[in-house]
Amino acid sequence: MSTSPLSFLGGIDPKTGMILDPESDAKGECISKRVLCFPYGKGSTVGSYSMYQLRLNGLAPVAIVNSSAEPIVATGAIMSEIPMVDGVDISLLRAGDHLEVDAGEGVVDVKDLTEKHVVTTVLRSKGKILLLRRSSKVGSFRGRWAGVSGFIEPHEPDEDAARRELREEVSITKARLVRRIEPERFRDGKVVWCVHPFLFDVKDPSVKLDWEHEAFEWVPPQDMGGFETVPGLPMIVRKLLGP
């Protein structure tokens, strides 16, 4: 598993299968008989033949998983008969994960990994956004600052879930939907959180907290850096408030 691009020419030793690339966080790891995950390939087209040499030496990976396929790696995978899948968010994978790769279907299955769908609503009033500090009674991210968030119930539309959480968590029933963006995914241990983000405006900043939170603050978005937030919240806020 390398979070940086790899070159098979000079970056991987065809005689040992060891990653040599000094820019890779996987330097010193052996790729032989393992699923090799990295964002995309780099370097000379001769890298395709380096992949083939790994195969001849019995040191090739059993499969390759990329965020984006590029010709050098794709050609080398075909030449070497290495199953390959691209279009995968590499940031959600970890070294040591048990992967099942179906190149025919273009599917990568991570065993023992659970995906949970939640909504996160950024509530805005008079140019400030609402941050809520999660209480000691919740199951995750205790003490962290978050937006108005919660699980999406089975078969529940995500906007309905967002409005339900506004009612339950901060007792707000009148809010204007301003923007929604595509879901973002973040990994925490064996859980991938699929976050459905929304931006709502309210005129009245009055808030009544439920048991899930112990404090709240209305803050300018640029001051979020002073708060320890749940994973990905600053990025979600930037996207929701962006042009």
Q: Which residue has the tokens 């010709």?
A: 71
Segment 213-240, tens digit of pLDDT: 999 999 999 999 999 999 899 999 999 9
Predicted pLDDT at 243: 75
User: Mean of the pLDDT values across residues 22-50?
Assistant: 93
Same topology, domains 1-112 and 114-241? Answer is: no
DSSP structural state of residue 226: G
Predicted pLDDT at 32: 95
Task: Please give the CATH architecture assigned to the domain spanning 114-241.
Answer: Alpha-Beta Complex (3.90)
| 218: helix, strand or coil | strand
Segment 146-182, tens digit of pLDDT: 999 999 999 999 999 999 999 999 999 999 999 999 9
Choose among 40, 106, 108, 43: nearest CA to 68: 40
Q: What is the DSSP string of 92-131?
A: G--TT--EEEETTTTEEEETT-EEEEEEEEEEEETTEEEE
DSSP structural state of residue 152: P
Strand partners, 35: 63
- The overall average pLDDT reported for the chain is 95
Predicted pLDDT at 53: 96
Q: How many CB atoms lie within 10 A of CB 85?
A: 22
Q: What percent of the chain has pLDDT over 90?
A: 93
Q: Where are the domains of the chain?
A: 1-112, 114-241
H or E element, residue 193: strand 191-201
Task: Please give the CATH architecture assigned to the domain spanning 1-112.
Answer: 3-Layer(bba) Sandwich (3.50)
* CA atoms within a 13 Å half-sphere pointing along the CA-CB vector of 165: 28
* CA atoms within a 13 Å half-sphere pointing along the CA-CB vector of 60: 24
User: Mean of the pLDDT values across residues 135-149?
Assistant: 94
Give the integer Cα–Cα distance in Å for 43 and 119: 41
| 212: helix, strand or coil | coil
User: pLDDT-based confidence at 140, cuts 50/70/90?
Assistant: confident
User: pLDDT-based confidence at 183, cuts 50/70/90?
Assistant: very high
Q: Are 151 and 116 in contact (CB under 8 A)?
A: yes
**CA R_g for the chain:** 23
Burial (CB count <10 Å: 0-12, 13-18, 19+), residue 105: exposed
Give the integer Cα–Cα distance in Å for 155 and 176: 23
**pTM for the full model?**
0.82
Give catalytic residue positions.
Answer: 44
Predicted pLDDT at 27: 94
Q: Are 232 and 194 in contact (CB under 8 A)?
A: no
User: Mean of the pLDDT values across residues 104-124?
Assistant: 94
List, edge to edge, every strand of the sheet that includes 84-85. Answer: 35-38, 63-66, 84-85
Q: Which residue has the tokens 């404090």?
A: 215
Predicted pLDDT at 221: 95
Predicted pLDDT at 44: 86
